[in-house]
Structure 1
Amino acid sequence: MPDALDATPYDALLLLSFGGPEGPDDVVPFLENVTRGRGIPKERLKEVGQHYFLFGGVSPINDQNRALLDALRKDFAGHGLDLPVYWGNRNWAPYLTDTLREMVADGRRRILVFATSAYASYSGCRQYRENLAEALATLRAEGLELPQVDKMRHYFNHPGFLQPMIDGVLKSLADLPEDVRAGAHLAFTTHSIPNASADTSGPVEDHGDGGAYVAQHLDVARLIADAVREETGIDHPWQLVYQSRSGAPHIPWLEPDICDHLEELHGTGVPAVVMAPIGFVSDHMEVLYDLDTEAKAKAEELGLPVRRSATVGADPRFAAAIRELVLERAASERGGDVTLCALGALGPSHDLCPVGCCPARAPKPAAAGADSPYA
């Protein structure tokens, strides 16, 4: 057993995720949680839920989080890091508030939060901070002692997140027919969000023209494309594209959509495409449906060979990266001189979200930031 690693002042790690239904009866209640406050009729939610019903009403995200939990606990134990790991979701069981209540009952007083979203955006960062604030408010109303909660920095450019994706793209290229492999294009995909949300993502100084959200994804795409070129000797053309749009048609969202992109590439004579979902931590429903179902159907209709590379999931290198991020933040909180690990042009992200970072659609309290009411 290696020497024990020091995570103080933290006494627990919270894996915070989106959540998903685990059976047909869960689908509509889950979607009601996701869309609460938007006044969407239940019949419309049943239509939206068809994506889930195609897969038996089960989203893979919860099992994928269980696998990541297992990988983290094994990694921590194998490296002598004595830090319990809990799991809470925004929209389905285990719910965040219930998990925080359990952590308080277990005596946890300083909690580090790892969210399954690697990039800056309202829905990928600040909304999780709002969820934390709501949960803490509930605990306070119940008369419970509140823990201090910190959120881990964005990890989009950590090598433990990047290397599994690089390997996934290389494997997908190798799986293409040899006669089209060298000419294949790389389509790096992420979740489309409203242009207005993208433009205000990240700290205020990063706002404008896609904000930190687009800049971070472009940096990751460049890093992967460069690594693929170094490994294969081939400079595959690439583009950042989007998927999973869900907003009203009159509101501008980030484009182009992956299916439109495939049509365009096919029209220009591109012989094959590798779709790399760099915006997603695991192969959850939006990857399985929007890429493996819809986009692959479009490619088949076009006669365009495509492959979809893997997300990082529970890759041991990703679990190791999370351990490194925990230890890095812990050492920083203790006042140590810490070198933050990050690749690419943007450098490491901030530990504490500043005021004005990924602003809310309507002002709401958010924990674990410079504007937190729970400092």
Structure 2
Amino acid sequence: MSFPKDAGVLLVAHGTVENLDDLGAFVARIRHGRPAPPGLVEELRGRYEAIGGSSPLLQTTREQAVALAKRLEAPVLVGMRLWEPGVEQALAGAAALGLSRLVVIALAPFSQHVYWQAALKIAQAAQTPIQLVPSPPYAEEPEFVAAHAELITRHAPEAAPLVLSAHSLPRVAIERGDPYARLVEGAANAVSARLGRPVRLCYQSQGADGGAWLGPDVRETLSALAAEGHREVAWAPFGFLADHVETLYDLDVEAKAIAAELSLSLVRVPALNLHPGLTAALATVAIRSISTEASG
């Protein structure tokens, strides 16, 4: 079907700063106003400086939106959940285009429910006349799984054990019913089946707060591989749709340093970024969502 003329898509990503002087305010938003532990902002500044002083996340997200708009022949807007340009700006842009409906797709494949609730709350506060349309989890969409498999096949040595990583989450969130871990495991199994290759799951980039987080973490995963006698590991950050500080620093700098300590060579598979398979998966989800809304 062709995309309805009154409808568009809102891609919601985590967000990142373009000016490092904004890091304090950015961390405050991430922590919902809770005080940051001492040194956290400066530590984060160091990570950004180590990857060149900025993250490509916003630019990549905008390019993902352009690719999706071209495929759908429909407007695609970008809103960041925790920084600018925010969902509010995207809603204003949609109104200026005369749209009445927006399919909301989170560029966080295992957290669609969290991003949907955030966008809905902002829309309600703004009293926008634009109707937001939810979209389902898509991490097991065939095009999405195939895109990961293609990148892994292209970049990962076949003889090396394969690690798939996603962002960690506090265990208390899972205990309260968050489906995150179940969605991660389902997607990992789908990628493994598509490749015909076993995978190991790792939860990276644990937060600064105390308490238990999902694991195993990066050091635990690499230590186990070294103890088993491996000398090379392939690593695909399949929980991230664009390279940013948590792949460019947490993996390319920090994880590779840990691997070197353990006499391991870490071969990192890129994030999907502008992979056409990602565009195809997002288009499938957008069309299905707007079709379901129309028929419902």
- The normalised TM-score by structure 1 is 0.73
Letter in 2 for 1:194: P
Q: Is the 8 Å Cα contact of residues 8 and 76 (structure 2) preserved in structure 1?
A: yes
- Cα distance, 1:195 vs. partner? 1.0
- Equivalent position to 2:143, from 142, 154, 160: 160
Residue aligned with 2:295, SS:
coil
Q: Is the 8 Å Cα contact of residues 259 and 295 (structure 1) preserved in structure 2?
A: yes
Per-residue CA distance 1:222-250 (angstroms, 9 max, x = gap): 22223323xxxxx5x4321110001433x
- Cα distance, 1:133 vs. partner? 3.4
Larger fraction in helix: 2
Q: Is the 8 Å Cα contact of residues 281 and 311 (structure 1) preserved in structure 2?
A: yes
Displaced runs of 4 or more, over 3 A: 41-44, 199-202
Residue aligned with 1:169, SS:
helix
Residue aligned with 1:334, SS:
helix
Aligned to 2:53: 57
Aligned to 2:172: 196
Query: Pairwise mapping of residues 4-43 of structure 1 onto structure 2 (< 5 A)?
Result: 5-8=1-4, 11-40=7-36
Letter in 2 for 1:60: P
Aligned to 1:248: 209
Aligned to 1:129: 116
Q: In structure 2, how many angstroms separate the alpha carbons of the residues matched to 1:326 and 1:316? A: 15
Structure 1 portions without partners, runs of 5+: 175-180, 203-211, 230-234, 337-375
Letter in 1 for 2:251: L
Structure 2 portions without partners, runs of 5+: none
Residue aligned with 2:126, SS:
helix
Aligned to 2:62: 66
Residue aligned with 1:188, SS:
strand
Q: In structure 2, how many angstroms separate the alpha carbons of the residues matched to 1:54 and 1:223? A: 34
- Cα distance, 1:327 vs. partner? 1.6
Residue aligned with 2:17, SS:
coil
Per-residue CA distance 1:186-245 (angstroms, 9 max, x = gap): 11111110112123445xxxxxxxxx322222222222223323xxxxx5x432111000
Name the count of aligned residue pairs: 296
Q: Is the 8 Å Cα contact of residues 105 and 112 (structure 2) preserved in structure 1?
A: no
Aligned to 1:169: 152
Query: Pairwise mapping of residues 1-375 of structure 1 onto structure 2 (< 5 A)?
Result: 5-8=1-4, 11-40=7-36, 44-76=40-72, 81=73, 83-119=74-110, 124-140=111-127, 145-174=128-157, 181-182=158-159, 184-202=160-178, 212-229=179-196, 235=197, 237-249=198-210, 251-335=211-295
Note the aligned Cα RMSD (angstroms). 2.2
Q: In structure 1, how many angstroms separate the alpha carbons of the residues matched to 2:124 and 2:62? A: 27
Max Rg structure: 1
Q: In structure 1, how many angstroms separate the alpha carbons of the residues matched to 2:84 and 2:38? A: 20
Q: Is the 8 Å Cα contact of residues 104 and 147 (structure 1) preserved in structure 2?
A: yes
Relative to structure 1, is the Cα distance of residues 54 and 116 closer, same or farther in structure 2, using a 3 angstrom cutoff?
Answer: same
- Cα distance, 1:161 vs. partner? 1.2
Q: Percent identity?
A: 28
Q: In structure 2, how many angstroms separate the alpha carbons of the residues matched to 1:42 and 1:267? A: 35
- Cα distance, 1:271 vs. partner? 3.2
